[in-house]
Amino acid sequence: MTRHKDKHWLWADWPAPEHIHAGTSIRTGGHSKKPFNSFNLAQHVGDKPADVKKNRKILISHLGLPSEPAWLNQTHSSKIISIDSTSENRNADGSFTIKQNNVCAILTADCVPILFCNKDGTKIAAIHAGWKGICNGIIENTIKIFSDSETILVWIGPCISSEHYEVGKDVYERCLNHSSLLKSAFNQTNINHWHCDLVKIVNIILKNAGIGTIYECNSCTYKMDELFFSYRREGNTGRTASMIWME
């Protein structure tokens, strides 16, 4: 379904079941001061904790969230946790739930936020996928959570585009070691540097796993500085939240 963008939120445009809600925050309308201006939702970047708390409260109220999002301690790992148990350690780069009113959330500022649901709308997941997490297998680990890859819908949120994401030989080789299929996502600029298309990498891995229903935000965090934070553009900066939940 097609939904609107406002000063806090961009709704995912994909044919998920009606009771599934998903999208990503944008950087306007919050309390954070420069360089985190203004709607930073991350507590780990050096922003004032009180401002982040206010921003999170605004988002919860604005979206009418049924519960506090399950914020994670992200480390570019391949770990995905269930948020259906309150005792679960939150050191992970992805989460999933089969329960109503639980909110899966991840934070990004160039890496790829990827949201998943099955066509029945009984299981959802959200992951943070930078090149390290991708090479560690986080996408494949998420797919395994679902019983049948052909029933999975995927929404790829805003991330850095290939023209602004140049990487060295180490990243190039790590990605090709993960899968030789990823070579087409790189465009060599000189002997030791390549432009890396993260969205294409995600698509290749998803399609190779049998997922054909993939929808893209088509927004570059680096270029769209008024809407999104970008670590590569700004260095010390805030984070947006991509979230998914079901009624």
Q: What are phi and psi of 129, to 5 degrees?
A: -125, 95
Q: Domain count of the chain?
A: 1
Higher per-residue confidence, 242 vs 3: 242
Q: 109 lies in a domain?
A: yes
Q: Is residue 66 part of a domain?
A: yes
| CB contact set of 64 (below 8 Å; sequence gap of 6+) | none
Average pLDDT across the chain, whole number: 94
Query: How much is the pLDDT for 226?
Result: 94
CATH number at 82 reads 3.60.140.10
Domain assignment of residue 2, yes or no: no
Burial class of residue 190, CB neighbours in 10 A (0-12, 13-18, 19+): exposed
Q: Which of 63-67, 82-86, 189-193, 209-213 has the lowest mean pLDDT?
A: 82-86
Q: Per-residue pLDDT for 93 more than 50? A: yes
Position 87 scores a pLDDT of 66
- 95 phi and psi, to 5 degrees? -145, 160
The pLDDT, as a whole number, for residue 2 is 41
Average pLDDT over every residue of 10-34: 96
Of 5-14, 23-32, 178-187, least confident by mean pLDDT is 5-14
Amino acid present at 60: I
**Which residues have a Cβ under 8 Å from the Cβ of 63 and sit 6 or more positions away?**
8, 9, 21
pLDDT digits 0-9 by tens, 99-143 = 999 999 999 999 999 999 999 999 999 999 999 999 999 999 999
Q: Is residue 84 part of a domain?
A: yes
Task: Please check whether residue 47 lies inside any domain of the structure.
Answer: yes
Residue 98 lies in a domain: yes
pTM of the model: 0.94
Is the pLDDT reported for residue 3 higher than 60?
A: no
At residue 224 the predicted structure's pLDDT band, cuts being 50, 70 and 90, is very high
pLDDT of res. 166: 96
Tokens representing 207 are: 């399609």
DSSP 76-119: S-S-EEESS-TTS--B-SEEEESSTT--EEEEESSSEEEEEEET
pLDDT tens sequence across 185-206: 999 999 999 999 999 999 999 9
The answer to the question of residue 178 being in a domain is no
Task: Classify 120 as helix, strand or coil.
Answer: coil
Per the structure, the complete domain to which residue 58 belongs is given by 11-158+215-246
Residue 22 lies in a domain: yes
